[in-house]
Amino acid sequence: MTTHLLFLLLLLPSLLFHFLVATVTANGQWQLLQKSIGIVAMHMQLMHNDRVVIYDRTDFGLSNLTLPDGRCRHDPNERIVKIDCTAHSVEYDVASNTFRALFVQTDVWCSSGSAVADGTLIQTGGFNDGERTVRTFNPCPNCDWQEINNSLAVKRWYSTNHILPDGRQIIIGGRRQFNYEFYPKTSTADKAYALPFLIQTYDKEAENNLYPFVFLNVDGNLFIFANNRAILFNYKNNSVVRTYPAIPGGDPRCYPSTGSAVLLPLRNLQAQNVEAEVLICGGAPRGAFEVVRKGVLFKALNTCARIKITDPNPNWIVETMRKGRVMNDMVMLPNGDVLLINGAGLGTAGWENAMDPVLEPFVYKTNGPVGSRFELQNSSTKIPRMYHSTAVLLRDGRVLVGGSNPHERYRFSKVMFPTELSLEAFSPNYLDPKFSPLRPIILEPASQTHLMYAQKFNMRIQVNGQFVPDSVLVTMLAPPFNTHSFSMNQRLLVLSTGKPNGTGNSTYEFEVTTPGSSILAPPAFYLLFAVHQEIPSEGIWIKIQ
């Protein structure tokens, strides 16, 4: 009897914190936007002019998009082709569904980046001649990449960037880099600072700590997750504030055992203590990367783990997905839910390392009851999105999907998953026309409005169907830099609002308050949405600084 009681007590934590999940279904829709943009969408960033900057790598050989005006890239040290007159970056115009070629000189493969306060994309690192280069892209009609060589303290390849409250970027980790640095530099003495946590989370052969998941916490410190565990890090004095429990099961979630992660919506921003939660989904079991060379493909992890990182005694709550996913992307939606899209059911990230593409997205209902949070979007793409796939939210609520390059170089035949140059858009269930009467239209403020912290402003919306005042939310989303299944700087805030007042003609006005500090919302351009009965409006651009 005592033995049985002891067994039940030992089992109790897993009974409390691990939930099998019932999956409901809803309709989503796929649309092929471009059969080919000429390059692989390995990296993507939505800019505040509704254009998306996309790039792959320069050491791949010739792409399928010729550079304009006879321009060519000359690199005598290049292995594949020393004179390359094709593009390896494009700017995609969402409104017109067109694209134009951009020019990059140094190799941007497996790099990182962030859009900073003035809207410029700052991209850092890459491979070979690009590993210490910083590149900037200003969103204007005819702008192109500008490159600043030797601007980083060390080589950065597979690193993670995050915007800080003062507007700088912190750049963390990378292959054989157990350190971090800042950009821009405040002095010539700026250097790389050791981060022993990255050594502690390094696995021989597999690594499993590349592209670490990094989020700015509400106390100004950084939540850093690598491999299977996390710390809260004070980057100002280079100290670990706290160590979190390892994720249950102990399996890695970072590259190449690639899962994905999001900071869940920040709410109650006027509260004295704002809470923050992180959700991590998918990945590959420990050892999967090592055995794939022997032709063995492990099943992808089918669990999500959620933790309240501001809790004094945090614990992971584990939920089971309908199907395992590795190399999945997690896209924060305007209504606070999370879209899981792309990836495979077998294997790991890397060349020829995965099979069984997962073609159906599903939505994680952030505020749903535990055990009922997954909603299958009952629509499949016909295009596998494997290694080097991407996904970003657009202002109209669709999700732009591209990429897939699961083998070295541009290979379009005699392979199981050819190099993929197409772009698709996925429309989540909330864009179903049947919800049009419930969909808010933002009438005020105007797009591109500049706001201050803790500022109150008037919002006016139109809802043509039955209006439910208590269901109205206003959300503010930082568009992320997406690559290798992680969206850097992705951040959604639920703003404080007053009671809506009807003003006639199906319009309603109410007061909205912006976040109180740059710790909650680093200075940047954000997408502002009105949400009614979980149906989001089309977004507008605002700048907060």
pLDDT less than 50: residues of the chain: 1-17, 21
* Cβ-contact 253, 283 below 8 angstroms: yes
Longest Cα separation, the chain: 83
Task: Please name which of 486, 485, 487 lies closest in space to residue 477, comparing C-alpha atoms.
Answer: 487
| pLDDT for residue 7 | 32
| pLDDT for residue 190 | 85
**Model-level pTM greater than 0.85?**
yes
CA dist., res. 305 & res. 247, Å (int):
7
* Cβ-contact 527, 445 below 8 angstroms: no
DSSP 165-228: TTS-EEEE--TT--EEEEES-SSTT---EE-HHHHHTPBTTTB--BS-EEEE-TTS-EEEEETT
Task: Report residue 430: phi and psi, to 5°.
Answer: -65, -15
CA dist., res. 147 & res. 154, Å (int):
16
Type of residue numbered 234: N
| pLDDT for residue 1 | 37
| pLDDT for residue 371 | 86
Q: Phi-psi category of 171—alpha, beta or left, where left has phi over 0 and alpha has psi -120 to 50?
A: beta
Q: Containing H/E element for 461?
A: strand 456-462
| pLDDT for residue 23 | 55
Type of residue numbered 479: P
| pLDDT for residue 78 | 87
Q: Containing H/E element for 15?
A: helix 2-17
In whole angstroms, what separates CA 445 from the centre of its chain? Answer: 27
CA dist., res. 360 & res. 343, Å (int):
10
